[in-house]
Structure formats: C-alpha cells, structure tokens
Amino acid sequence: MLPIEHVEVFGVAVPLVGPGFSNAYVTKKIQRSAIVRLTAADGSVGLGNIDPSPGYSTETVDESLVVLRDRLAPAIRGLDAANPHRVIEKMSETLQGYLDAKAAIEMACVDLTARRLGIAVHEYLGGAVVDRVSFNAWIGIVAPDDAAAEARKWFERGFRSAKIKVGGGIEADRERVMAVRNAVGSEMKLRADANAGYDVEQSIALGRLLEPCQLQLLEQPVAADDLAGMAKVRQAIGIPVMADESITDHASLIAAIRADCADLVKLKVMKQGGFLACRRMLETATAAGLRVVIGHGFGLGVNTVAELMLAATSRTVIEGLECVGPLKTADDIVTSKLDLSAGTLEVPGGPGLGVALDEGKLQRYRFEF
C-alpha cells in the first residue's frame, strides 16, 4: 500500500511566448494552471497538472484549485495511491463533475505508483506501441499571407501536420486555409478547427469551400450539444469531422457514437478525468471504429508528458499529437522543459512521468488562491 499522507496544491501562472494565442474564445497571454503533489507515507511522490482554458474547460482554474484544496484533498488523505479506482470512487462520492480537478489527483496517483514501481507511466498503462511521437503545429486566425509564412516555418522545422484555426467568416477561412495548402503543398497534413463557432448551415458551406484543400479533418464545426447538427455536417461534406468540445465524459462519447456525428474524437487526459477514464474512452472509440487525436494545446510539462505517454499506448491515435503546450510557454515549472521544436520526440522512459518540479520556478510563478 501507498497511503497518501500529504496533498499539496499550487496555482501557477506561466507566461506564453510572443503576443499570445487567439482562437474563437479568447486571446491568452498567460497559462494559469493547477499543480498537485502527492506524498505517500513511505516518501514516494507523484505529480498531477491540469491547464484549464476558457471555452474548452467546464471549470476555471480558480474553481479547480479551490475544489482540490477544500474538497478533494481532505477526502483522499489516507487512501492508497496505488489503488486509483478507490481514489476515483471517493472523489465521485465527494462531489459530482470537476473532471479536470479529479484528473490532477488521479494523474498524481498514477505517477506516484509508477515511480514507486520503477516503470514509466506508459508501461503502467499496458506498454507503448510506438517509440517516437510526432506533434501537430498550429496556425491562428491570421491573414492568409501570415498563415502561409507560419506554415512554411513549421514545415521547415520538421512538422508534417498543422491545425489552422477558423472562425469569424467562412470566406476568410477559405483564404487562410488555401494559402497554407499552397505554401506547404501536399506533404503536410492540415486540420481546421472551428471551436464550435458556426451553425449547421455555415459549417456545411465552410466544409464545401474547404474540400479542395484536402483536409485531414474539420474539428467541432458546431455547438458542443448539437450532435444532430454535426451529423448533418458530416453527411453533407467530403471532409472527416472530429468532435472535441462535444466529448467530456464516457457518456458523451457514447452519445456521439450513437449520433454517428464524427469520424474522429479528441481526447485529453485532463478533460476526461484522468488516465484510466481517458484510456477506457480510447478503447471505446477504437471499438466503434473512430480514430482519435490526443492533446491539450496549453499543457505545462507534467500534463504534456501525461498525454504523450497515453497516446503512445494505442495505434488508434493518429500522428500529430496536439499536446504542444511547451512550444507556447516561455518557461515551465519542471526542471527540464520539453523540447518539441523539431516536431517529434522519443517517448520518455520514466520512471513515472519522468519529470520533476523545479522548486524555484514553482515559487516564481505561484499565485495565491
């Protein structure tokens, strides 16, 4: 047994590079995140990290931090970190929802246990089926010429897939996406992400405009709760459709499968409530014949490694992970910031998540809550 003795919860605000990042929801210049550190009775330590983003997450980082400190931490003290099923059960009894906050605790339990066993988290999850993972570049809502220049830079660095943000006007979207396609040719796979910004009619019109661009997928064209509308879009256009904001818990994935509204689904360790829930949903998607994209675009080092280790355990996950937070942050709270600059990374060997907190940076970026 590995009884949980201490639960530490930290809020950190890490600056992003450049002028920040814009999507259909917000422009971000700082990533505000939650860090959890569990210590077992024998001194074993495990880390958890969640990075909520406006529009994507159902809870704010401030809500997550308060729930972690005041509700979940007291509830799990004394439980066996090596039995995350019991920990999850206790958290569910304590309060409903708050999957992000619960994921931070479960992630830390898994990290702690795997460290104690001397194995990587991907071994704990059944084993990696790939030794190296690739990452997906991104292009914001910018002018066509700027989008094309960004795409060329990503391509020259070694990236072979990219997401282009769309929203605010389908004609402008087409010009941006076409400019990128012309800039990189056929060697780069392209995705377009509408962040639920259009209605059904607009989404169908957008999809038809983008068909000549040979996209890998169109992500979440309509509102998260409009599965019937997304099914109409999927049936009307010649581009695979991916559900993201529509997918939260396992029941939402089942609903999307029943609605026959997507060719792919987006999964995130944080959003789905932790490794075990996300892994089960990955298997459900596999059984349903859906492909999967993994990754939260603003994760700090801990969360990023968590997602790439999970992704490495399944061939259902397509190449081009979207856990690219270390490319967007000017710093991190781990001792060695992940280098994703070449577009690929060897799957880390652990033990656990294979990362450690930098105490100095933890204090530098910490905020009170």
Same domain for 248 and 286 = yes
Asked, for residue 170, whether it belongs to a domain, the answer is yes
Same domain for 322 and 299 = yes
Same domain for 144 and 80 = no
Residue 157 has pLDDT above 60, yes or no: yes
pLDDT at 23: 54
Same domain for 341 and 213 = yes
**Per DSSP, what are the bridge partners of residue 120?**
352
Same domain for 25 and 134 = no
Same domain for 316 and 170 = yes
pLDDT digits (tens, 9 = 90+) for 120-139: 999 999 999 999 999 999 99
Same domain for 295 and 184 = yes
Query: Which comes out higher in pLDDT, residue 260 or 28?
Result: 260
Same domain for 61 and 205 = no
pLDDT digits (tens, 9 = 90+) for 211-242: 999 999 999 999 999 999 999 999 999 999 99
Average pLDDT over residues 75-98: 98
In the structure, what pLDDT confidence band is assigned to residue 54 with cuts at 50, 70 and 90? Answer: confident
- H-helix or E-strand spanning residue 80: none
Asked, for residue 271, whether it belongs to a domain, the answer is yes
Asked, for residue 71, whether it belongs to a domain, the answer is yes
pLDDT at 56: 72
Average pLDDT over residues 171-188: 97
Distance, C-alpha 59 to centroid of its chain = 15
Same domain for 306 and 206 = yes
CA dist., res. 296 & res. 300, Å (int):
10
Query: Which comes out higher in pLDDT, residue 28 or 204?
Result: 204
Asked, for residue 352, whether it belongs to a domain, the answer is no
In the structure, what pLDDT confidence band is assigned to residue 168 with cuts at 50, 70 and 90? Answer: confident
CA dist., res. 54 & res. 291, Å (int):
26
Tell me what percent of the residues of the chain surpass a pLDDT of 70.
98
Residue 319 has pLDDT above 60, yes or no: yes
Token readout for 235 is 């049936």
Pairing of strands 30-40, 45-50: antiparallel
pLDDT at 18: 80
Q: Residue 199 maps to which CATH number?
A: 3.20.20.120
Asked, for residue 64, whether it belongs to a domain, the answer is yes
Residue 80 has pLDDT above 60, yes or no: yes
Tell me what percent of the residues of the chain surpass a pLDDT of 90.
94
Indicate if the alpha-carbon torsion angle 80, 83, 84, 89 is positive or negative: negative
CA dist., res. 164 & res. 155, Å (int):
14
What DSSP letter does each residue of 106-146 carry, written as one string? HHHHHHHHHHHHT-BHHHHTT--S-SEEEB-EEE-S--HHH
Asked, for residue 218, whether it belongs to a domain, the answer is yes
CB 44 within 8 Å of CB 115: yes
- pTM to 2 decimals? 0.94
Q: Which of 7, 30, 26, 1 is nearest to 329 (CA)?
A: 30
Total structural domains within the chain: 2
CB-based contacts of 54, cutoff 8 Å, min separation 6: 25, 26, 28, 60
**Whole-number mean pLDDT of the chain?**
96
Same domain for 149 and 34 = no
Q: Residue 34 maps to which CATH number?
A: 3.30.390.10
Same domain for 129 and 114 = no
Query: Containing domain of residue 77, as a range?
Result: 4-118+358-367
Same domain for 282 and 161 = yes
Asked, for residue 351, whether it belongs to a domain, the answer is no
Asked, for residue 159, whether it belongs to a domain, the answer is yes
